[in-house]
Chains A and B, each alone.
Chain A
Amino acid sequence: MTSKALLRVENLSKTFFLHEQNKVIPSSSQVNLTVYSGKLTALIGPTGAGKSSVLKSIYRTYLPSSGRLLYETAAGVTLDLALALEHQILELRREEIGFVTQFLHTLPRQKTLDVVAMPLYRQGVGKLEGRARAAELLAELNIPERLWEVPPATFSGGEKQRVNLARGLIASPRLLLLDEPTASLDAKTTDRVVDLIQRKKQQGVGMLAIFHHADLVKRMADEVVELSVPVVSA
């Protein structure tokens, strides 16, 4: 079975212009990659190569400076994410594209179960079902049950990361962007996360991921794309 190209990134570059310092900062330059449904593409390269910037440009947290980000929507339309309207992006975020970042922004009083179930609520799933599915995922990721009814604000780095991961995976997006999803986990928990990600792949989710460890790339990647640090022009 050949998988479909879900996302084709063509010549993506991202630069920042800092007005205060009147300075252009190149972040990613001339990036080309493809993500296929049911496969994982790993982004590798040294710090400063702009790996996270590529993910953020795809999610439109950053405005791409040039290049095309051609995404095949569930409805069968090819959409350039660099040019898509804000409402289109918001809808894709709700329905099709997930992003697991290293940070967790949550409401102060929101319980972990609800934090994780939030993407389902946004799709109109009821509280009962949403919480049940969140519980399942949290159990699988080894988050002790006593933490489920507590807001994640006081959790350890590794616990927060898994909450974040659970939230990213729960709605089974078509495209999942992962920024170091296992960075602060021990070996045993990492194995669980790896299992879970493999299973999502089998379900057809296409992934673009940054891993902090070469070993993880070897275990999980179907494609590897290497970035190099952009050159600063004088």
Chain B
Amino acid sequence: MDKILEVKGLSQVYGKGCDLCFASTGPEFETNICPHCGSIVALHDLSFDLYKGEILGIMGESGSGKSTAVKCLYFDQMPVSGSALFFDDSGQKPLFKLNPAQRRSLRNHRFGMVYQNPNLGLNFDISAGGNIAERLLMSQVMNYSEIRERARELLARTEVLTERMDELPKNFSGGMQQRVQIAKALATRPPLLLLDEVTTGLDLSVQAKILDLILEIQSELNTAMIVVTHDLGVIRLLAGRTLVMKYGRVIERGLTDQILEDPQHAYTQQLVASAL
């Protein structure tokens, strides 16, 4: 099996930070706020490997740093420390050492992101089809009708009524917005997909469709994915391995069925017990 991503010691602090930030936050202090300088340690020392076609789950309560992790990997923000190596077909790329043009290129061609908040992933001022076209325009040379055809295909694939492709996504339901986001993320057939709470807040039947779609994509395109969620059911169905986070730290990691059936850490035991 081939590695696609190797993350080492990723940390993120919001605020000016001080020397004591890391040593005075985390699960044992039951806070992610540094008592000395008031900064938020959103993420500390996150490390993991991801293989081609693998789905890694990241779970943890609200504020544990899950979204921060994927946002760093998608270049929405720069971490304060740590490294991430992306193994692309054309060679290894150290994500946080790339120049802005290189980063943009990875974002547009090689990574796909579905945000927890559709506001961040979609441009609400242009149509659903336009959102996808925008991503295609950035990545390849295609004429207008080709782009439109491909956008239609993607929306059909994600079960968005193609008659609505010219409507603004702000008029869509949450489930539809998520599916437009997925279609947009998939437009360039990226080998790495980051999914942040894709099913949260949606009806069970819509959730089911989205989960199916994600697994179909994985088996068809061998896409590697990082699935962030606090829903244990989603983790069970999608992820082979799982990281459990609390106050910005990974407190437990393992095969997903093991995390759910034989959790080792007190916090994970509590999470699993309360989900039953």
Contact = CB atoms under 8 A, between A and B. Distances in A.
Q: Main SS of chain B's interface residues? A: helix
A122 B1 CA distance: 13
Nearest to A61: B257
Interface stretch (A101-109, A166-174, A188-196, A203-211): A101-109
Contacts of B54: 90
Interface stretch (A13-21, A67-75, A156-164, A216-224): A13-21
Interface in A54-75: 56, 60-63
B149 to A, nearest CB: 25
A204 to B, nearest CB: 26
A127 B94 CA distance: 37
Interface in A24-66: 56, 60-63
A61 B269 contact: no
Interface string B242-269: 0000000000001101100110111001
Nearest to A109: B212
B75 interface: no
B164 interface: no
A90 B209 contact: no
Given A107-B208, A109-B212, A60 B269 contact: no
A91 B264 contact: no
B257 to A, nearest CB: 5
A86 interface: yes
Contact of B264 (A63, A89, A90, A121): A63
Contacts of A60: 255, 258
A69 to B, nearest CB: 14
A110 interface: yes
A20 B1 contact: no
Interface residues of A, number: 22
Contact of A105 (B219, B236, B262): B236
A87 B262 contact: no
B1 A107 contact: no
A62 B261 CA distance: 7
A105 B255 contact: no
B240 interface: yes
A77 to B, nearest CB: 16
Nearest to B254: A86
Contact of A108 (B1, B208, B255, B262): B208
Contact of A91 (B1, B209, B236): B1
A65 to B, nearest CB: 10
A62 to B, nearest CB: 4
B120 interface: no
Nearest to A22: B266
23 contacts: A17-B264, A19-B265, A20-B270, A56-B261, A60-B255, A62-B258, A62-B261, A62-B262, A63-B258, A63-B264, A87-B1, A89-B255, A90-B241, A90-B255, A105-B236, A107-B208, A107-B211, A107-B212, A107-B215, A107-B237, A108-B208, A109-B208, A121-B219
Given A20-B266, A110-B212, 15 more contacts: A19-B265, A20-B273, A61-B255, A61-B257, A61-B261, A61-B262, A62-B258, A63-B258, A63-B264, A87-B51, A89-B255, A90-B241, A108-B205, A108-B212, A109-B208
The 4 residue pairs across chains A and B that have the minimum distance between CB atoms: A19-B266, A108-B208, A62-B262, A61-B257
Interface of B: 1, 49, 51, 54, 205, 208-209, 211-212, 215, 219, 236-237, 240-241, 254-255, 257-258, 261-262, 264-266, 269-270, 273
